[in-house]
């Protein structure tokens, strides 16, 4: 949504540092004024957290190497 970029720049103080929003790639104000930093908006923050949660879920469900394999180097 293009309005996200407009929203981010509108809350930016003069000379504020902007970063790229990890979710939408738009401009995000990196300052205490932006409580969602490094995201540009609450929507992008929630989207990213949701993606992260589902990703973590997938990793946890997936069976990996057994934990006791090479876990004890010394007695
Ligand atoms: Zn964004």
Q: Is the backbone peptide bond immediately before 41 cis, with ω within 30 degrees of 0?
A: no
Q: 26 CA distance to ligand 1 centroid (A)?
A: 5
Q: How far is 38 from 26, CA to CA, in rounded Å?
A: 11
pLDDT at 9 over 60: no
Q: 7 CA distance to ligand 1 centroid (A)?
A: 10
| φ, ψ dihedrals at 13, nearest 5° | -70, 165
Q: 70 CA distance to ligand 1 centroid (A)?
A: 43
**For 34-73, what is each residue's pLDDT tens digit?**
999 999 999 999 998 887 778 776 766 566 666 776 666 7
Q: Is the dihedral of CA 37, 43, 44, 48 positive or negative?
A: positive
Q: 31 CA distance to ligand 1 centroid (A)?
A: 15
pLDDT at 12 over 80: no
Q: 75 CA distance to ligand 1 centroid (A)?
A: 51
pLDDT at 20 over 90: yes
The domains of the chain, with CATH numbers, are 3-61 (3.30.50.10)
Question: What is the structure's pLDDT at 49?
Answer: 80
């Amino acid at each position: 949504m293009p309005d996200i970029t407009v929203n981010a720049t509108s809350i930016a103080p003069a000379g504020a540092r902007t970063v790229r929003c990890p979710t939408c790639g738009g401009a995000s104000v990196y300052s205490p004024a932006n409580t969602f930093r490094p995201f540009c908006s609450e929507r992008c923050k929630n989207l990213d957290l949701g993606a992260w949660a589902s990703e973590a879920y997938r990793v946890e469900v997936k069976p990996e190497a057994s934990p006791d394999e090479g876990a004890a180097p010394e007695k």
